[in-house]
A and B are shown apart, each in its own frame.
Chain A
Amino acid sequence: MTRVIMSVGVTFVLVALARAQAPPQRFGIGTPAPRETIAALDIDVRPDGTGLPPGSGTTREGGDIYARRCAACHGANGEGGSAEALVGAEPRTTAPFGPDYEHWRGDRPDVPFTIGNYWPYATTIFDYVRRAMPANAPGTLTANETYSLVAWLLSKNGIIADSALVDAETLPRVVMPARARFAPDNRAGGRDVR
């Protein structure tokens, strides 16, 4: 009798298992993406320069493009417009926050966070301008125009020389003033307030 009950129980378990289908490693869903599809969408630029297109730009050309495409919102010289300030090399000796900054600032008003004093990677400027600017016509700048704008922004912030040529070779080598300030998240819950 016991044996009969046990075997009925085992049968039930087997039926239950057979109904719950284990998921496969792959479902065979999705379509292989051709190289051209990827290339058309893959616009990201990384700190090591991966993704930067052929072409180049100069500060002089960048100044002309800036005046036509950017100045209306960001101000004639990269500050004082309705959109955020792009130029601001002060404080040259430190970042716009922390103990050294508070000492440097004294009773003066705060300086804004800018490309010159806060952005840690020069490649980010190219990546962002190409994907999102100008705000009234994003995606319309050519590679050369974008390189030139990056050159103008970096030189206005006192980071590269006016005469510098910006391209896929030189841009990843630009060292931004605030680069060493950035550190990964050190919060982990628990008792500490960080």
Chain B
Amino acid sequence: MPKPENLTRRALLTRGLGAAAVTLNARGVFGQDAPPADTTSRAGRGPSALGGRSPAEQPKRLPSPTSSRTPLQDLHGTITPADLHYERHHAGVPVVDPRSYRLLVHGMVDRPLTFTLDDLKRFPATTRTCFLECSGNFVPQGEQTTPQQLCGLTSQSEWTGVMLSTVFREAGVRPQATWFLAEGQDAAVLSRSIPIAKAMDDAMLVYAQNGEALRPEQGYPVRLLLPGWEGNASVKWLRRLDLADQPFMTREETSKYTDPLADGTARQFSFVMDARSIITSPAYPNTIDKGWTEIRGIAWSGRGLIRRVEVSTDSGKTWKEAVLQQPVLPKAHTRFRFLWQWDGRPTQILSRAIDETGYTQPEWPALSRARGRRTRYHLNPVTGWTVAADGTVRFGIERVRA
């Protein structure tokens, strides 16, 4: 790797390999409070009650009226800092007092029970790392689309809470119960029907995220967590679980979050997020230099482990296997990396994920044939970034157009 002094500032700001070695003009990053260049001549700031980011690092979510997106291109590992976790809510973020918080479990149970936050924390705890993703996470907006704009409605946390099966055993699930309603205490009183089988498999009631209490945007003080399933079903600000022998057919599982397909049927309860990958670097608006670039990105599957990620650097003609960062966890963002020596000729770089079921992330034509023109959810096509002769990188919009 060349020394930073030998690189232009533009290259440092934009190229993938240079990202770790950026030495920015101090005044540009710190504004009027530019520190002296020599940090060794005077002691620095002492210990503080709460840490913060370097003023040189300003990752931001991208908010809209109903959601905010994670800056995937600014992240390096697989954990999303909690303040950058994506948001999607239907009537704003409620302010819930943890002291008066109650969760009601009722319906087809032997013992209807209410739980305080402390009650839930008394149960044996489990910690699990998994992704969340909104099923509407695909917004191509032309060549000037960033990874954040395209699919920033996915994030990953280390979640801690109690297995839902433990809480259900406490209430005594009756044999005829097959579904339960999960209901939030936001102003939309958002509700979804979930099969009891998911509760007995890997569903959790979580109260912690990346080691601390949930953020309000992620459902403080308690949310449902359904690993691998569309984010909407992991109901936040959870107040009630109602067990029944049929789904409730709420608005969010009938008129929304259903998939009108090419054959004229509407797919319902399409919970699982299919395997997907995205190159996050280099991507729009980066510029790369001839020579070595490490292609980096994330892959994930709601069905379990990512088995393999393949990368093409010749517009999809040939594919090679990327290196997966270990450990690879089921239903979790998996970081992949692929070393590439760019020869300076225009091309397109692509990635595709293969999961443990043998599912291969589809190209847009195959996906579009199966789904039809009017489907809005669960779109996970292979996406690419077009590299021009001058090194500028743009989103390959033509690959995902009908």
Contacts and interface: CB of A to CB of B under 8 A. Distances in A.
Contacts of A123: 249
Contact of A110 (B265, B272, B374): B374
A193 B374 contact: no
Q: How large is the interface on B (under 10, 10 to 19, 20 to 34, 35 or more residues)?
A: 35 or more
Interface string A106-136: 0000100101001111011001100110010
Interface string A150-187: 00000000000000000000000000001001111111
Interface in A90-104: 94-102
Interface stretch (A10-18, A43-51, A52-60, A65-73): A43-51
Q: How large is the interface on A (under 10, 10 to 19, 20 to 34, 35 or more residues)?
A: 35 or more
Interface stretch (B333-341, B358-366, B393-401): B358-366
A121 B260 contact: no
Interface in B67-111: 90-91, 104-106, 111
A183 B355 CA distance: 25
Contacts of B262: 98-99
Given A33-B114, A44-B183, A124 B270 contact: no
Interface of A: 23, 25-27, 29-33, 37-38, 41-48, 94-102, 110, 113, 115, 118-121, 123-124, 127-128, 131-132, 135, 138-139, 178, 181-191, 193-194
A33 B242 contact: no
B255 interface: yes
B272 A194 contact: no
Nearest to B113: A30
A183 B254 contact: no
Contact of A127 (B124, B251, B264, B274): B251
A190 to B, nearest CB: 5
Contact of B170 (A27, A102, A115, A189): A27
B249 A97 contact: no
A27 to B, nearest CB: 6
A32 B189 contact: no
B265 A113 contact: no
